[in-house]
Homo-oligomer: A and B are copies of this chain.
């Protein structure tokens, strides 16, 4: 170790004028081209496309604008304007999404045995299920909003939660991504939830199974792993990890598709910065897990788990000494 991670080119350039520097670029571009050709997608002989991150981000925002019209982009809120708006946005979403699904299936799979026609039909079919699922998602989100309003004294109205709560945004994107996940769409669901993770600090895997009326408050640092199951009316605070027990090095592939993350039953509350690990760990209904706790075993229903207060040391602070 301790080598610089990027080796410095020691020799001084013999270039002096801007033109002489620009003349050195073609050689750089050629080596980038060579590196691309030897990589994952470099064997293409004709024009194809991959799904793109910017398209997926556009899909998320379009779906959110359909679910909550007028909140994020200024539009008229009378029925005529709204009719045009929802019509236009839903059609554009369907078009965008079906295209991205087709490209994802074509690229994300080892066995791309499907014909182009079959692929096209599959893309349209899943995109239709997605837009048809939107009213159902909207109803689920209404319950999530109500759960937040009930649980957080700082929440003043449902409008405030829709406009500004990162927990609601993360749950919205999860619920949308999960529709694509259960249809076996590769790549897109994870790009969606990781976009929300970037925006909110809340990392919910699209494969998690989550019931109704979830409230995630503050939320920064929350992790909900791929095989987690969460019941109804669960409340989770910032920094909570629902994760996997650690694995031996390089054992990753062996544990794919196994239940590795906990089960949280109905009406459970989990306070901030608590970590719950393991596929066999079940937190029983109506239990309350205090903050800052590390749980790797099941907890029965109707139980309160608290950390026995660790001993604190109080010293007079001279003001000059270094605090440890």
Min C-beta distance of A240 to chain B, whole Å: 11
15 extra interface residue pairs, beta carbon distance < 8 Å, beyond A52-B70, A52-B73? A32-B138, A33-B82, A35-B135, A44-B78, A44-B79, A108-B160, A154-B205, A155-B252, A163-B194, A218-B241, A238-B241, A275-B292, A291-B294, A292-B294, A306-B313
A153 and B7 within 8 A (CB): no
Option from B164, B190, B273 in Cβ contact (under 8 Å) with A163: B190
Min C-beta distance of A270 to chain B, whole Å: 11
The answer to the question of A288 belonging to the interface, with a C-beta cut-off of 8 Å to chain B, is yes
Contact bitstring A179-203, B, C-beta under 8 A = 1, else 0: 1001100110011011101111101
The answer to the question of A236 belonging to the interface, with a C-beta cut-off of 8 Å to chain B, is no
Give the one of A4, A129, A195, A221 with max B CB within 10 A.
A221
B197 and A198 within 8 A (CB): no
B322 and A248 within 8 A (CB): yes
B324 and A246 within 8 A (CB): yes
* Copies of the chain in the assembly: 3
B198 and A200 within 8 A (CB): yes
Contact bitstring A25-58, B, C-beta under 8 A = 1, else 0: 1101101110111011100111111111111000
Option from B4, B33, B156, B317 in Cβ contact (under 8 Å) with A287: B317
B286 and A302 within 8 A (CB): no
Min C-beta distance of A80 to chain B, whole Å: 8
B153 and A247 within 8 A (CB): yes
The answer to the question of A125 belonging to the interface, with a C-beta cut-off of 8 Å to chain B, is yes
Interface residues on A, range: 35 or more
Q: Which residues of B contact A139 (CB under 8 A)?
A: 35
**How far, in whole Å, are A46 and B77 apart by their CA atoms in the complex?**
7
The answer to the question of A74 belonging to the interface, with a C-beta cut-off of 8 Å to chain B, is yes
Q: Which residues of B contact A83 (CB under 8 A)?
A: 33
A41 and B70 within 8 A (CB): yes
B25 and A50 within 8 A (CB): no
Q: A287-B317, A314-B303 are in contact. Are A135 and B31 (CB under 8 A)?
A: yes
24 contacts between A and B (CB under 8 A): A4-B182, A6-B175, A13-B128, A21-B125, A35-B135, A36-B82, A36-B86, A50-B77, A52-B74, A53-B72, A53-B73, A55-B74, A151-B249, A160-B186, A163-B191, A218-B241, A223-B238, A241-B273, A247-B322, A249-B267, A275-B291, A288-B317, A292-B294, A307-B313
**How far, in whole Å, are A225 and B302 apart by their CA atoms in the complex?**
29
A190 and B160 within 8 A (CB): yes
Going nearest first, the 7 A-B pairs with the smallest beta carbon separation are A1-B231, A164-B194, A153-B255, A308-B311, A52-B74, A21-B124, A288-B323
B86 and A317 within 8 A (CB): no
**How far, in whole Å, are A186 and B157 apart by their CA atoms in the complex?**
10
**How far, in whole Å, are A50 and B48 apart by their CA atoms in the complex?**
41
A201 and B229 within 8 A (CB): no
Contact bitstring A145-181, B, C-beta under 8 A = 1, else 0: 0000111111111111001111000000001001100
